[in-house]
Each structure stands twice: as C-alpha cells, then as structure tokens.
Amino acid sequence: MDIKNHRISGDKIRPFVAATTVGKEIVPEAIVIHYTAGPSGDATVRYFAMPECRRASAHLVVHEDGTVTQMVDFNRYAAHAGESSYGNRKAFNYFSVGIEISNPGYLLKNKEGNFVYQWEYDKPKAKIISLDKIVEGKHRNKETVMRFWHKYTDAQIKTVFELCETLKKAYNISLIVGHEEICMPLGRKQDPGPAFPLDELREKILPKKKEDTPVDIAEKFGITNAKVNFRKTADKNGEKLTAPIPQGTKLQVIGETSEWVQVICPVQGWVFAAYIEDDHTDDKGDAVVKVDMLNIRKDPSSKGELIAPPLSKGMVVFVHTEQNGWAYVTVYMKGWVFKQFINI
C-alpha cells in the first residue's frame, strides 16, 4: 500500500467513491477504528455516497474480503467520530482518520434461542448466525451490556493492520483508538468491540510508550459509598432524579462546587418504542425521543415503576432490544452527587 496526494493505492484498494459529507482540511494525528453495524461494506459505501446522507462519512470502508474503498481524502474532515473526547483531546473529526470495518457488531438471541442480526431481531425469517462466527466477550466499557459479537474476517484484520502501518508512515499518527473509547457519553458506542484485536493493533503499530497506553475513562470516577443520592440540584434537599446510585457505578464528571460534583449517570429502563426514532447516525442503536415527555420504567408495561423523571424531546437513547412494543434503552442523565462519596 502507498499514499499519494492523500489517497491510498495498492492491490486491495477499490476505486475511490466520494462521500457526501466532507469538511475542511485537517492534519491527521490519530486513527479511529469503527464497525459499520450494517449488512455489508457495499451497503455502507452506498449510504455514505447518498445525497441525503448529510451527517455521517468515513475515510475508509474495509469490506468483508479485506478490500478497501476510500471515500474521503485523508487531509479532509469526515463525520465519523461524533461527540468525542480522549485524554485532553476532543472533537476527533478534526484530526483523525476514520476506518469503518464492515461488521454487524453485537448479536441478539431471538425467542427461539438463535443468534440473529440486531436489525432482524423481530423478523420471523431472520438469518441465523452460526456459532463459528460469534465471539462471546465483555466490552471494555462497563456500560455496554451486550455479550455476543460477530467475528471479523482474517482478511479484514490483516488489511486494517496494513492500513494503519501505511497511515503511520505517511502522517504523524500518534494514537489509535476505538470509537468505543472516545465517544461521549462513554458507553454510547460499542465499536469495534471485543471481536477486534484493538490492543494488539496498537502494540504493533505504535511505539510502546507510557503516554500511548489507553486510558479507561470509565475508571476515573466511581461511587465509593454503598448508595449515593443523585439529585437535580447541588442541594441536600434537591429533587432525586433516580433511585440511589449503587457503589461502584462509573460516572463522567462534568462540573463541581466545593461540596458537590455534577456527573452524567447511565440510566437503563423501558420506554414505549413508538415514541423514539432512529437518529440516522453511524450506529443502529442510537435513537432520539420524539415526544415532549416519555416515561422510562423498570418493566415493559404501562404499569411499570417509573425509575427517573420523564425523558424530554430530543434526548438521545441507546436501544438494546425491543419487546412487545417496548424498547429497553440506556439514557445518560445529568445530576449532582455529594463530593465526599465519589472517588476522583
């Protein structure tokens, strides 16, 4: 592989296809690894090239056979990272190359006990995924509850290693991260997931320096008390937003006073599926609330216990699964906890 005029060439490289969403010039310093969470690499290329695709793009798409389609020049902005932060760097779209690997992502078990694609979960004739194509593993982000992942092909893994080595030689690449590590709030994205050898990729491509070691952002902050109240305002009499947060819960700190810390806390529960809709970003699980108020409940029932204040229109949720018209989601809420009960 070789790079000239910010485009890659080689035996595995397909003809260039221009993405619709392309931004200003950038200087690549990082590589972000994604999976497409879709049926095929060709489908992803078609999607990024659609005139109406105004919110998502990537520099490269790695197909199932290990061949590659470039869609954005490496010195131009692509909309692949979204709201992102890692260490002291933010807004990764402005200094990173996005590599999308064609892979379905996490898999679900249907009522018959078979593994199926997430987008075919409720379909009676869903394609059954054979066990030899499945990896069972815990995600590096503890907020991610999914356990079963579709394997990447050997050809894809080999190609991604070659792409990263080539990019490193052509640009001042000092960081390789997964989308799962940089998305904010943490846990909103799962790619590339446990099935991809991300740590091995970093060890091979980048020098082993202490400052290059990935930081598990979720480990930075945690509840140290048995249970801690999560309040709307920084006041011991402030309205409680949820049941007390259990010990060990990992939080994202976004502000503080002398006695209180403002955090983002993950809340999981059931909402009426008809009242949320796909937000058309790069992950099928992302959705937004489309009504003014939406209750989130402990059980998938209109009589289920309310576990938090109603969600408001425009709030982003991640959909894990659906059941009888209800969706089990994670939503990230802002609130305050007493500083002495959080480990910073």
Q: Quick one: pLDDT band at residue 228, thresholds 50, 70, 90?
A: confident
pLDDT, one tens digit per residue, over 115-130 is 999 888 878 888 999 9
Sequence-separated (6 or more) residues with CB below 8 Å from residue 229? 240, 244, 245, 337, 338
What confidence score (pLDDT) does residue 279 get? 56
- What is the CA angle 134-195-199, rounded to 5? 160
> For residue 216, is pLDDT > 80?
no
6-10, 80-84, 99-103, 182-186: least confidently modelled range: 182-186
Percentage with pLDDT > 90 across the chain: 55
> For residue 307, is pLDDT > 80?
yes
Q: Which pair of structure tokens corresponds to residue 94?
A: 């402005």
What confidence score (pLDDT) does residue 52 get? 86
φ, ψ for residue 155 (rounded to 5)? -65, -40
> For residue 219, is pLDDT > 50?
no
More reliable by pLDDT, 191 or 247: 191
Integer Cα distance of 62 and 69 in angstroms = 7
pLDDT, one tens digit per residue, over 125-168 is 889 999 999 999 989 887 677 889 999 999 999 999 999 999 99
More reliable by pLDDT, 287 or 244: 244
Query: Highest-confidence range of 57-71, 88-102, 175-189, 211-225, by mean pLDDT?
Result: 57-71
Assign 113 to helix, strand or coil: coil
pLDDT, one tens digit per residue, over 170-192 is 998 999 999 999 987 777 788 99
Q: Quick one: pLDDT band at residue 213, thresholds 50, 70, 90?
A: very low
Greatest distance between any 2 Cα atoms in the chain: 66
| Topology adopted by domain 2-104+151-212 | Lysozyme-like (3.40.80)
338, β-bridge pairs? 260
Q: Quick one: pLDDT band at residue 16, thresholds 50, 70, 90?
A: very high
Q: Which pair of structure tokens corresponds to residue 170?
A: 């052509």
> For residue 211, is pLDDT > 50?
no
What confidence score (pLDDT) does residue 217 get? 37
What confidence score (pLDDT) does residue 209 get? 55
Integer Cα distance of 314 and 321 in angstroms = 20
**All CATH 3.40.80.10 domain ranges in the chain, comma separated:** 2-104+151-212
The pTM assigned to this predicted structure is 0.68
What confidence score (pLDDT) does residue 281 get? 52
Q: What is the dihedral of CA 84, 311, 305, 273, to 10 degrees?
A: -80
Residue 325, sorted as left (phi over 0), alpha (psi -120 to 50) or beta, turns out to be left
Can you point out the beta strands (E) in 18-142? Answer: 30-35, 60-62, 68-70, 85-86, 89-90, 96-101, 107-109, 115-117, 134-136
Integer Cα distance of 100 and 90 in angstroms = 20
